[in-house]
Amino acid sequence: MAMKNLRSNFEPGTTRWAVRRTQWKEMGMSDEDMLKPKIAVVNTSNRLSSCFQHVDKISVAVQNAIRAHGGYPFEVRTVATSDFVTSAGKKARYLMPTRDLMVNEVECMVEGAVLDGIVFLSSCDKTTPAHLMAAARLNVPSIVLSCGYQLGGQCLAGNYVDIDDVYEAIGSVASGSKTFEELVDMTNHAISTPGVCAGLGTANSMQIVAEALGMALPGNAPILADSAKLYRYCELVGKRIVEMVENDENPRAIITQKAIENAIMVVLAIGGSVNTVRHLSAIATEAEINMDVVKTYEKYADTIHLLTAVRPNGPYRTEDLEAAGGCRAVMKRLESFLHLDALTVSGKTVGENIIDAQVKRDEVIRFMEDPQSYRPGVAILRGNLCPNGAIVKLSAVPNEMPGFEGRAVIFDSEDEAIKVGIGEGKIQAGDVVILRNMGPKGGPGTVFACSFVAALNGANLGSNVAVVTDGELSGLNRGIIIGQVMPEAAVGGPLAVVQEGDRICIDFIKRTMNIDIPESELLERLREWQPAKRELPPGYLAQYWELVQPIEQGAVLGYRAFRDR
């Protein structure tokens, strides 16, 4: 199958044509292959984490499908992090910056080689948003294949255990309510298959977002990793990407304001990760869409109710959500609210994709008239502590809790908060723990606050203590957790001037968060504030610090960071 006017087909006899042909002929490409649509299969596989262990097989299956349908695949490898493995270095500072490094690597490989289309194999937390950002930036035919979630297992005591349970057990050991030996047993059994974390954390949330945006085929999320169903999607994706190249179907016709609004509604309905806010903001920025994503979450907060209760929001697991019909079924419940005319990578509209969708388990995906909660799954708080907003996962907060007030207890590192706050008992019931200077600029690269939150729950303090941070949270976190405080402390946001013992007032009904001091005193503190002097060693984190934009715009890298100064 030869296609005309492919951008990858250089004029015969030119330098670029000759030297590339020489390279590719040695690789076994035929003259016919040279004329086919050339598809990048972006493989995020590495041997550092169970998240990626099956992706090499998926890559082979997708490549075979592309060949079978008239295209020629080129596997492209990029950096990819695992939140539970590559968080070890520099207090997880590499995690958020790696998202944008991935985007730039895709640009270098695809644009440098002038390929015609892209299949993104998306797995752990940062890969899906990075792939969607790259698709929006490059605007060549692209499709995301969600590579699926892992299953938990049974520990020796016979109890179900997954990575989220392990995470929280760390606090139980620190507080003495669980033994080290019990923790070891949990680590031996918590993951029984490859794939991303079992709960509705950032990875599964963003894979669902990819489908809700229209950038993944309908029915692709959530999906069990290494399942027969996933390999059927490999065949569908391989066929579809060749068609998209032939028809010149580009991401910016799909990633539109309507599509992002659809994705936000789905996030609110499932109680998705708080990190979807920053990632959708970044996707909008890369697509050059002039919209305020944070305000859009607020716009739909009282319209879209929480329909699911998947861990950590409730008793159901991700496999229950898949069995109930997954993203398609959730969108079917939201049918009267969605932009049904939004285009998708299937070649059909959202309305056409869900016309025959069914909810197979009503108790897992509830009706809008009878939701799990009338409060939104994710909400934006405003106030003098967060004038540009802060994010709370209300689906993980008890329904009966209208708010929280307490004295500020301040830490500048997660380790100190766990050791001194939990281990030595500095944190008491009723406190508001402030973890600050941990945002994109403050890290640089957002620093983990989520391990502390999990430890807090393991120490049985999660329902009696609030956490307010500009650091990195996990979609698996539960409790009274306020994240992505904007502006972040490192750029002079009000979080920077909170003092030990200040009273913090959080209202989930009015969706406000304030420091209880006179406005004149707050303004005086802000006037006196000075940024800390930074002497960063040479390397990527120093470059990230120079280039990163505000978290309100998704913490995207680029020339805009200089333009806006």
155 contacts 125 by C-beta, under 8 angstroms = no
**Per-residue DSSP letter, 441:** T
What is the predicted pLDDT for the residue at 169?
86
Q: If we measure between CA atoms, which residue out of 183, 212, 182, 207 comes closest to residue 197?
A: 207
Helical segments of 465-505, H only:
none
In a domain, 11, yes or no: no
- What tokens appear for 552 in the block? 């309100």
> How do residues 45-81 score in pLDDT, each as one tens digit?
988 988 899 999 999 999 999 999 999 999 999 999 8
**In a shared domain, residues 438 and 480:** yes
∠ at Cα 481 (466, 542), nearest 5°? 115
Backbone angles phi, psi at 201, to 5 degrees: -85, -160
pLDDT of residue 554: 93
341 and 454 both lie in a single domain: no
Answer yes or no: do 173 and 287 share one domain.
no
What is the rounded average pLDDT for all residues in the chain?
A: 93
Catalytically active residues are 474
Give residue for tokens 């659809």. Answer: 262
Same domain, yes or no: 213 and 338 = yes
228-247 and 55-68 are packed helices; what angle lies between their axes, rounded to 10 degrees?
A: 40
Q: Does 56 fall in a domain?
A: yes
Please indicate, yes or no, if residue 122 is contained in any of the structural domains: yes
443 in the same domain as 332: no
Q: Give CA separation, 155 vs 51, 98, 158, 427, in Å.
A: 20, 33, 5, 31
Query: Rounded to two decimals, what is the model's pTM?
Result: 0.93
Confidence grade of residue 477 (pLDDT, cut at 50, 70, 90): confident
Whether a cis peptide bond, with omega within 30° of 0, leads into 12 is no
Is the pLDDT confidence value at 255 over 80? yes
Do residue 166 and residue 308 come from a single domain? no
- Residue 200 is encoded by which pair of tokens? 């509705």
Instruction: Give the residue with greater pLDDT, 201 vs 431.
Output: 431
Q: How many domains does the chain have?
A: 3
Q: State residue 57's pLDDT score.
A: 97
| Position 111 pLDDT exceeds 90 | yes
**End position of a domain, from candidates 189, 210, 244:** 189
3-state helix, strand, coil in the chain (%, to 5): 40, 15, 45
Q: Roughly how many angstroms between the first and final C-alpha of the chain, as a whole number?
A: 50
CATH number at residue 483: 3.50.30.80
| Residue 564 confidence (pLDDT) above 70 | no
For the stretch 2-48, pLDDT in tens is 446 899 999 999 999 999 999 999 999 999 999 999 999 999 898 89
Does 60 fall in a domain?
Answer: yes
Domain-located, residue 66: yes
Residue 297, domain CATH:
3.40.50.2300
pLDDT for 476 equals 64
Q: Looking at the structure, do residues 98 and 135 belong to the same domain, yes or no?
A: yes
- Whole-number Å distance between alpha carbons of 209 and 128: 9
Question: Are the beta carbons of 183 and 196 closer than 8 angstroms?
Answer: no
Domain boundary among 321, 354, 387: 354
Predicted local confidence at residue 46, as pLDDT = 87
In a domain, 372, yes or no: no
Cα–Cα distance for residue pair 229/233, rounded to 1 Å: 7
Q: Among 168, 189, 210, where does a domain finish?
A: 189
Instruction: Indicate the angle between helix axes 180-189 and 163-175, nearest 10 degrees.
Output: 170
pLDDT for the residue 2: 46
Specify the pLDDT at position 282. 96
Shared domain for 144 and 168, answered yes or no, is no
Percent of the chain clearing pLDDT 70 (strictly above): 98
Same domain, 177 and 226: no
Give tens-digit pLDDT for 127-136.
Answer: 999 999 999 9
In a domain, 248, yes or no: yes
Instruction: Let me know if residue 292 belongs to a domain.
Output: yes
CA dist., res. 80 & res. 83, Å (int) = 10
Q: Domain of residue 203: give its range.
A: 29-151+193-354
Residues 182 and 202 in one domain: no
122 and 269 share a domain?
Answer: yes
Query: Which pLDDT score is estimated for 562?
Result: 37
- Is residue 345 located within the same domain as residue 468? no
